[in-house]
Amino acid sequence: MKKMYSKEAAKKSGKLSFFLVMMLCTAMIGASCWFAYTQTARDITLEIDSITDMNNRIAAAVPETNVPKPETNLPSETTEPRAARAVTPAVKPTEAFTQPVTEPMEPPVEQTAAPAEPVQIPARMPCNGEILQPYSNGELVKSATTGVWQTHNGVDIAAAAGDPVYPMEPGIVTDIEENALWGICIVIDHENGMYSRYCGLAPGLEVSEGDQADPNEPIGYVGNTAEIESALPPHLHFEVRQGEHLVDPVSYLGNLGR
């Protein structure tokens, strides 16, 4: 009987020890969890405080800029009914030139063209006589004086020594020279793009540089001063130039009706 009691007591004692161990383990686990929770909460709180403090320091370091806010006060809608408002139709830029004109316009002033200036007709050949040597138009001809093949840039008009020489048309005397080959020469600008040159003249001219040449008044007299054509009988060497180009004097005067 005593032995059975001892076994029963030992059995109860073992169960009690088991429960005590379990309670102790549970308490230790709970304590560990509580410690871990409190530690984590404290770390999170410190982290939040650190971030907040950093934000406050950054905000204090950046100066506040006064940026003007856009006005939001829009004009209030009028109480006038929408249908009663006057609407001005838009006019396209191209229509502005085609709108009817209501104001009376002055009648256009008739433009009268200025009368055309009369064409200057050459008054005459410089002197009357037959052509001894025609214009060569750039072709080479043999000179009777030098025996050299060369161009003849004008016409040689036969005349007696001392015969008067006239300008072919009005103009201004622009140049008087004594050339070693062509003798005494006069150049006249006819102020229409044409220039005339008179060579081999006798000394004692009737004009000076800058004078106005009149077709009815002589500018000089036929001479024998052109050494390059001294083999020919007395004559006038006569050239006509249009701009920078030489032309046939006879053809030019013939085209103008002379």
Domain boundaries, the chain: 131-255
Nearest to 196 by CA among 212, 180, 175, 221: 175
What CATH fold (topology level) applies to the domain 131-255? Answer: Glucose Permease (Domain IIA) (2.70.70)
> What percent of the chain stands above pLDDT 90?
47
Q: Which residue has the higher pLDDT, 181 or 122?
A: 181
Q: Is the pLDDT of residue 9 over 50?
A: yes
**Which pLDDT tens digit goes with each residue over 103-156?**
444 554 454 555 444 444 445 899 989 999 999 999 999 999 999 999 999 999
pLDDT value, residue 206: 97
Specify the range with the lowest mean pLDDT, choosing from 38-42, 119-123, 181-185.
Answer: 119-123
Give residue for tokens 């770390």. 43
Calculate the alpha carbon distances from 92 to 89, 98, 159 in Å. 10, 10, 81
pLDDT value, residue 190: 95
pTM of the full structure: 0.54
Neighbours of 209 (CB within 10 A): 12
pLDDT value, residue 253: 82
**Which pLDDT tens digit goes with each residue over 205-214?**
999 999 999 9
CA distance 98 to 160: 78
DSSP H or E run through 221:
strand 220-221
Q: What is the mean pLDDT of the chain?
A: 76
Q: Is the pLDDT of residue 99 over 80?
A: no
CA distance 202 to 159: 12
CA distance 228 to 180: 9
Question: Helix (H, G, I), strand (E, B), or coil: what is residue 177?
Answer: strand
CA distance 184 to 153: 17
Neighbours of 211 (CB within 10 A): 18
Q: Which residue has the higher pLDDT, 60 or 102?
A: 60
> What percent of the chain stands above pLDDT 70?
58
Calculate the alpha carbon distances from 76 to 73, 80, 134, 257 in Å. 8, 11, 100, 90
Nearest to 252 by CA among 193, 176, 164: 193
Q: How far apart are the first and last CA of the chain?
A: 183
Specify the range with the lowest mean pLDDT, choosing from 91-100, 127-136, 210-219, 232-241.
Answer: 91-100
pLDDT value, residue 170: 96
Q: What pairs with residue 246 in β-bridges?
A: 241
pLDDT value, residue 21: 72
